[in-house]
Structure 1
Amino acid sequence: MAKRFSIDHQGWWRNLKKHRYIRIFLFALLGVLTYGLLVTNVIPETLEVEQGSISEQDIRSPLTIENKQETERLQQEAYEAVDPVYSTKTRYAQNQIERIQDIFSSVEQVQLQAAGSEDELQEQTINENELDSGTEDIPLEEQLDILKEMLPGETVDNLSDTALLSLLNASPEDLQIAQETTASAVYDVMTDEVKMDEVDEARDRAERKVDISAVDPQLLRAMAEIARFGITANYMLDEEATEDARHTAAEVVEPVMIREGELLVEEGQVITAEIYQKLSLVGLTEEVPMVYPYIGLGIIIVLLISMLAFYLNDAKTTLQSNNTHLLMYGAIYALTLVILKVISLMHGTDVHGLTFIAPVAMGTMLITTLLQSRVALFSSIIFAIIASIMFNQEAAGVVNFTHGIYIFFSGVAGVFFLGKSQRIIRMLQTGFFVAVINILVVTSILMLKNAQYSWMEISSNLGFAALAGFLSVVLALGLLPFFETGFGILSTTKLIELSNPNHPLLRKILLKAPGTYHHSVIVANLAEAACESVGANGLLARVGAYYHDIGKTRRPHFFIENQMKIDNPHDKISPQLSKTIIISHPYDGSEMLKQYKLPKEIIDIAEQHHGTTLLKYFYHKAAKESEDKIKEEEFRYPGPKAQTKVAAIVGLADCVEAAVRSMPNPTKEKIEGLVKKIMLDRLEDGQFDECDITFKELKMAATTMCETLQGTFHSRIEYPVDELKEKEADS
């Protein structure tokens, strides 16, 4: 018996893969591996530098960051450079006029009190002599005191007693003239800008404006004094406008940025306090905490693995429930990252573009071939993000977008061109296609950099990019058999290999049971066409049909298709023994397939193609020969029933082919009726209860089988017999 190398045949894995936390463990293991491979790429680079020392090398910024201290300094300079904002206070003129009017109003009130009352004053004959005699009721000194009490303190402090007495002695007409003249003069002067250093000049102008000859000289001096008092500065500092202007000037200042790759210190340059502050700001001094890059990388890895886990658990692939396939995906993922890491360490060589030789398409091609193309596409994104950090030695910062873009396109190219066809020639063509895409991507990258490259450098970059495509396909083809064997994967390539007639088991069927071989070929044609009509794996159905009756090779003559010119051995034995021989062939075949390490999918088809169907012929024969009641369960296959669409369709095709082959003079109508009856019998018998095939798909599969059978069992032309030759032959 051949040794089993598939991991599914190992006891430790069979027990471990059913553990409830195994998927969490596998994803955690991928996260730890990714972190371990990337941690060396984020270790902060620190320099042993001090203020006042001489730099031993050119130092460039590893990142882009704002120099907030320098920005604040420039903003403060801009703030302080703004001149104060002044504005004319138009309300000041009205305020001063109101103050002047208040003075004259107060004087009139004092005069009325001095005269006795306002009514008595109106009854008197208005003439100058009577007024003078009326105001003498209260002495001028007392009138002056009353007036000072009525006026604001500031007014009293700025006007002399002589001026106030002149107002008290003036007649109402003169007071009216004085008020209007003074107010007009003050208003005329205050409507213009009066700056702080121009107040005296403005007061002189107001004094000249009240210089009229229509009033008493003493009153005129009082008017001049009041006019000068009424003039004040109205062109003042606008604190709110000044503050707004200064804030606007500070906001206009552009942030001072330290750009990634910017030269901070030249070799031999003295490290000043300003330069040291910049070095600390970009994290190149020992004063900066070292833990943040590790935490940041951990967060990135957690996000990547979480997204990967969510996608793989949600996508409708075998990775959703098959932990063996998940382990295989993890192995491909880990192998791809390890290869990328090894190549990333070659950046220190003098060979230009050597890191472009990274064969990331190997990983995506293996995932496409062994699992699914959509999973490979998603993996391309993950590989690109990881590579952008892994290949950051050539970048000034922590991320190298150049290699990230290159890895992404290289990985995706392997998926798109390989597609659903995984033949060897197709994979070789894919390597060429990946090489072309790599060359195009590298060419675009060199153009985007707009640097002056020599032809030798360009050729080196493009050459390694092209070599990456061919290296990817060589590695993929070399590793494919190991993954297929180690994880029991049934790829298209493996199926094509198993369909080779020279396979030992197929040759065994052909030599020991030729009738079964012919039967299996027809069943393969029926099953493949039916599976493709419902979107199932037609190639798997064909190969599974080739091997589904391999168990018949142990006792080939007990099966009718192999009984050529011999008596039927079942006529000489009991129905119970015949039942035992017939029922054993799926399980004999399963054991033989396991011995030859065939994939589990093929073994399942062999075990499940009869399900739990009833051996009707031997059941009825036993019932006739026995006086006791025979139970159906004794003449049923023990199962299991079909678990997949492919197994269900192969079982249906097996039954249909045997029935149609035994039909005399098959016609289109007879075939369709028989196929429909067989399908309904199996459906009512519950043979499709444990698989996900629908009634609609069963009808489509049955229709396709009818079309295939009509081509196989078509009517033939009856050729005329040559009578002369017939006579000669008889003679």
Structure 2
Amino acid sequence: MKDHINAIYKNHSQFYKILLFVVTTILIVFFFPKSGRFKYNFEKGKPWQTENLYAPFNFGIQKSTNEVKKEETLITNQTTHFFNKEKGIEAEVIKDFKEGFNKTFNDSLNNYKGLKSKANSILNTFYKYGILNENLDLKNSNKAVILIDNVEKQTTTYKNLQKLGTLKNSIEKQLKGTSLETYSNKLTALFFDVIKTNLTYNKALSDNVLKEALDKISKNRGVVDKGTLIISKGEVVNDEKFQVLTSLSKEYESQVWSKSSYNWIVFAYTLLVSLALLMLLLFIRKYRKDVYKNNTKVTFIFFNVFVMVLLTTLIVNYNSEYVYLVPITILPLVLKAFFDARLGLFTHVITVLLLGSIVPNSYEYMFLQIIAGIVTILTVSELYKRANLFISVGQITLVYIIAYFAFFVIHEASVDNLKWETFGLFILCGLATLFVQPIIYVYEKLFGLISDVSLLELSDTNSKLLKELSNKAPGTFHHSLNVANLAEASANEIEANAMLVRVGALYHDIGKMKSPIYFTENQSSGINRHDELTPRESAKIIINHVLNGIEIAKKYNLPDRVIDFIRTHHGTSQVYYFYMKEKANNENVDIIDFTYPGPKPFSKETAILMMCDSVEAASKSLKDPTSSKIDNFVENIINKQKDSGQFLNADITFKEIESIKKVLKRKLANIYHLRIEYPE
């Protein structure tokens, strides 16, 4: 039992990866749609490539979206509107009009009998059907309407209903050309004083009637019986065949599956998802060993894959037309920011392959997304520069639009029915991609990772910690700047992460702030404090600057990748000067007491810092430097580190070490303003 527990503890990292693999697979399959999928691919205008297809069951031929929309528009235009007619208003208005007329036209010398008769006639015309309290602005004025009161219903057309806004024109029109036209203004004013609306639009009833009519629209326009030949091999998929095949595909995917069939579908999806994730895991294991060894990083990658699958699945389940709204190019952007372009692209392709089994038009979708991912990897560089991200997002959006346009023309052979709203989805997708910056910041906090954006902020020499270093240990600060310049040049030479190694160099000696006077570069008075200490005490102070640096870095919340440079910049080397000094007095000296705790550098970047730090520090002791002296000096220091096994854990080659030597020799020659020694 104990052996089993020890084995599990020893291989806990592998067990964690297996658990992560299983959990991610289960979660992705859980969110996948569990319907069957039509096993044939077909395109309008292209020949049917497979065997003759017969109907596997009875199914209806679904109407196209345009056909359904035309029917809906027709029904909407023909559906009756309902208005409530309020009784009693007309009698009240007639009474008020009579009183108002007698007051307005009270001249006893004139006979207004004809005017009064005409006015009553106009009033009766207004209330024949009624006066609306609002104008519905219907396009079809001949549309049937029904007027409802408490007793009866009255049918007419919308144009026969009187509207308040047209009352004046109606009065003037009926009086024009008659002897009564001179009374038009007075009569109009009287009408507006007494007239009241008696028709109110019954929206609830009208909407219900329209909804019932729309619900009765049949989605099908025919039936295909089981066993009927749908299409023959080599036959071109025309509009009619395309609609039949599309109907069969949708019917097949919406079938109610038995429990046995459902389980088989889940099992098949599990196989596909696990196979894709396994390929991703094997790729990381073979080509990104440092990432594979770090469970946090592997979890981060799988988490991002799951998030993209989840977002896309939710959108597809809601409305598959919005599938291009998901900013899937955020995935390669994020992975490139934290890792590298190759891992970002491979993960992106695996994710797109997973999504290809659930999205409509899978070939078109996968082509567009893979091309967009490639463009993302090729165009986005130096993400910390804001202009670069905007330019890259514009290029990605343009590629989306061009590729979609090409596919549409291939399918439709014209641009008449081009869906311009899809271009809008691509633009919105591009805008959503701009949120990658805050997403990267959140990921840094959640997973303890570091991106170039944070590295740029840390490289600012005006930061609080570096300012404190320059104040407390100015010599160390100057040394760190020199090392940073050497390390950055060396990293560029062998294509390592120059920004990371520069930041690591700036902070690698911050531990010297605790006792700056004990380090040579900060001794400006010419007094050496080590003269007052034993070699063992001096060595302890020198070695402790690594541990003090780690403590200070954690206090200031520096990322772990930066702290790695503090831990490894001396590796397991010795404080040789004090060791030899102690040995001169005592033969029985344990070299462990004069050895840095390590660990040794375990990446190209940390190895570069060790070389540059040693060379820069030791170069201060050079007297009368010449090109040959500098060459021998650099060779001796780096060869000593190499021979002592300091670079065994670092992923760096002999060729790269030689390239770094050349850079350091050239840089030191420039620092000391040396000319090339020409042969005599």
1:489-500 maps to which residues of 2 (within 5 A)? 489-500=449-460
Residues 326 and 429, structure 2, Cα contact 8 Å, conserved in 1: yes
Q: TM-score, normalised by structure 2?
A: 0.64
1:461 is the counterpart of 2:433: no
Could you say which residue in structure 1 is the equivalent of 2:14? 20
TM-superposed deviation, 1:680: 2.5
Residues 382 and 388, structure 2, Cα contact 8 Å, conserved in 1: no
Partner of residue 404 from structure 1, selected from 366, 385, 405: 366
Superposed CA deviations along residues 93-136 of structure 1, whole A, max 9, x for unmatched, are: xxxxxxxxxxxxxxxxxxxxxxxxxxxxxxxxxxxxxxxxxxxx
Could you say which residue in structure 2 is the equivalent of 1:377? 345
Superposed CA deviations along residues 331-369 of structure 1, whole A, max 9, x for unmatched, are: 211222222233334427xxxx64432211111211221
Could you say which residue in structure 1 is the equivalent of 2:326? 358
Could you say which residue in structure 1 is the equivalent of 2:211? none
Could you say which residue in structure 2 is the equivalent of 1:614? 574
Partner of residue 681 from structure 1, selected from 640, 653, 656: 640
- Relative to 1, partners in 2 of residues 1:376 and 1:644: Cα closer, same or farther, differing over 3 Å? closer
TM-superposed deviation, 1:628: 5.4
- Relative to 1, partners in 2 of residues 1:487 and 1:50: Cα closer, same or farther, differing over 3 Å? closer
Could you say which residue in structure 2 is the equivalent of 1:655? 614
- Relative to 1, partners in 2 of residues 1:603 and 1:16: Cα closer, same or farther, differing over 3 Å? farther
In the aligned structure 1, how far is the partner of 2:654 from the partner of 2:36?
Answer: 57
Could you say which residue in structure 1 is the equivalent of 2:598? 639
TM-superposed deviation, 1:265: 12
Residues 406 and 438, structure 1, Cα contact 8 Å, conserved in 2: yes
In structure 2, the gaps of 5 or more residues are 1-8, 39-55, 61-215, 676-680
- Relative to 1, partners in 2 of residues 1:283 and 1:505: Cα closer, same or farther, differing over 3 Å? closer
1:529 is the counterpart of 2:529: no
1:58 is the counterpart of 2:220: yes
Could you say which residue in structure 2 is the equivalent of 1:331? 303
Residues 572 and 599, structure 2, Cα contact 8 Å, conserved in 1: yes
- Relative to 1, partners in 2 of residues 1:283 and 1:653: Cα closer, same or farther, differing over 3 Å? closer
- Relative to 1, partners in 2 of residues 1:502 and 1:341: Cα closer, same or farther, differing over 3 Å? farther
1:240-639 maps to which residues of 2 (within 5 A)? 261-263=242-244, 290-291=261-262, 292-316=264-288, 318-347=290-319, 354-392=322-360, 400-419=362-381, 423-450=385-412, 458-474=419-435, 476-565=436-525, 567-624=527-584, 626=585, 629-639=588-598
In the aligned structure 2, how far is the partner of 1:482 from the partner of 1:265?
Answer: 43
- Relative to 1, partners in 2 of residues 1:41 and 1:529: Cα closer, same or farther, differing over 3 Å? farther
- Relative to 1, partners in 2 of residues 1:19 and 1:386: Cα closer, same or farther, differing over 3 Å? closer
TM-superposed deviation, 1:706: 0.7
1:704 is the counterpart of 2:663: yes
In the aligned structure 2, how far is the partner of 1:643 from the partner of 1:661?
Answer: 27
TM-superposed deviation, 1:436: 1.0
- Which letter maps to 2:509? D
Could you say which residue in structure 2 is the equivalent of 1:181? none
In the aligned structure 1, how far is the partner of 2:233 from the partner of 2:357?
Answer: 34
In structure 1, the gaps of 5 or more residues are 1-14, 75-251, 267-277, 393-398, 717-731
1:691 is the counterpart of 2:650: yes
- Relative to 1, partners in 2 of residues 1:643 and 1:279: Cα closer, same or farther, differing over 3 Å? closer
In the aligned structure 2, how far is the partner of 1:253 from the partner of 1:413?
Answer: 38
- Which letter maps to 2:244? L
TM-superposed deviation, 1:285: 6.2
Partner of residue 31 from structure 2, selected from 31, 37, 40: 37
- Which letter maps to 1:493? V
- The percent identity for this pair of structures is 26
Residues 489 and 663, structure 2, Cα contact 8 Å, conserved in 1: yes
TM-superposed deviation, 1:453: 6.3
TM-superposed deviation, 1:549: 0.5
Superposed CA deviations along residues 453-475 of structure 1, whole A, max 9, x for unmatched, are: 668x643221221221221122x
Residues 43 and 294, structure 1, Cα contact 8 Å, conserved in 2: no
Query: How many equivalent pairs are there?
Result: 492
- Relative to 1, partners in 2 of residues 1:304 and 1:640: Cα closer, same or farther, differing over 3 Å? closer
Residues 42 and 294, structure 1, Cα contact 8 Å, conserved in 2: no
TM-superposed deviation, 1:527: 1.9
- Relative to 1, partners in 2 of residues 1:652 and 1:406: Cα closer, same or farther, differing over 3 Å? closer
* Corresponding residue SS for 2:527: coil
* Corresponding residue SS for 1:390: coil
- Relative to 1, partners in 2 of residues 1:508 and 1:18: Cα closer, same or farther, differing over 3 Å? farther
TM-superposed deviation, 1:438: 1.4
Superposed CA deviations along residues 419-450 of structure 1, whole A, max 9, x for unmatched, are: 57654332222211111111112222322232
In the aligned structure 2, how far is the partner of 1:420 from the partner of 1:317?
Answer: 24
- Relative to 1, partners in 2 of residues 1:388 and 1:655: Cα closer, same or farther, differing over 3 Å? closer
- Relative to 1, partners in 2 of residues 1:376 and 1:617: Cα closer, same or farther, differing over 3 Å? closer
In the aligned structure 1, how far is the partner of 2:28 from the partner of 2:10?
Answer: 23
Residues 549 and 585, structure 1, Cα contact 8 Å, conserved in 2: yes
- Which letter maps to 2:472? K
TM-superposed deviation, 1:587: 1.2
In the aligned structure 1, how far is the partner of 2:237 from the partner of 2:535?
Answer: 93
- Relative to 1, partners in 2 of residues 1:705 and 1:627: Cα closer, same or farther, differing over 3 Å? closer
* Corresponding residue SS for 1:479: helix
In the aligned structure 1, how far is the partner of 2:411 from the partner of 2:10?
Answer: 51
- Which letter maps to 2:292? Q
TM-superposed deviation, 1:280: 13
In the aligned structure 2, how far is the partner of 1:280 from the partner of 1:468?
Answer: 27
- Relative to 1, partners in 2 of residues 1:596 and 1:16: Cα closer, same or farther, differing over 3 Å? farther
* Corresponding residue SS for 1:263: helix
- Which letter maps to 1:404? M
Residues 59 and 265, structure 1, Cα contact 8 Å, conserved in 2: no
- Which letter maps to 2:603? T
TM-superposed deviation, 1:615: 1.9
* Corresponding residue SS for 1:643: coil
- Relative to 1, partners in 2 of residues 1:33 and 1:17: Cα closer, same or farther, differing over 3 Å? farther
In the aligned structure 2, how far is the partner of 1:490 from the partner of 1:299?
Answer: 34
TM-superposed deviation, 1:567: 2.0
In the aligned structure 1, how far is the partner of 2:621 from the partner of 2:236?
Answer: 91
In the aligned structure 1, how far is the partner of 2:241 from the partner of 2:11?
Answer: 48
- Which letter maps to 1:323? N
In the aligned structure 1, how far is the partner of 2:11 from the partner of 2:299?
Answer: 9
Could you say which residue in structure 2 is the equivalent of 1:165? none
* Corresponding residue SS for 1:402: helix
1:662-677 maps to which residues of 2 (within 5 A)? 662-677=621-636
TM-superposed deviation, 1:415: 1.9
* Corresponding residue SS for 2:434: helix
- Relative to 1, partners in 2 of residues 1:50 and 1:657: Cα closer, same or farther, differing over 3 Å? closer
* Corresponding residue SS for 1:39: coil
Residues 612 and 636, structure 1, Cα contact 8 Å, conserved in 2: yes
TM-superposed deviation, 1:283: 7.5
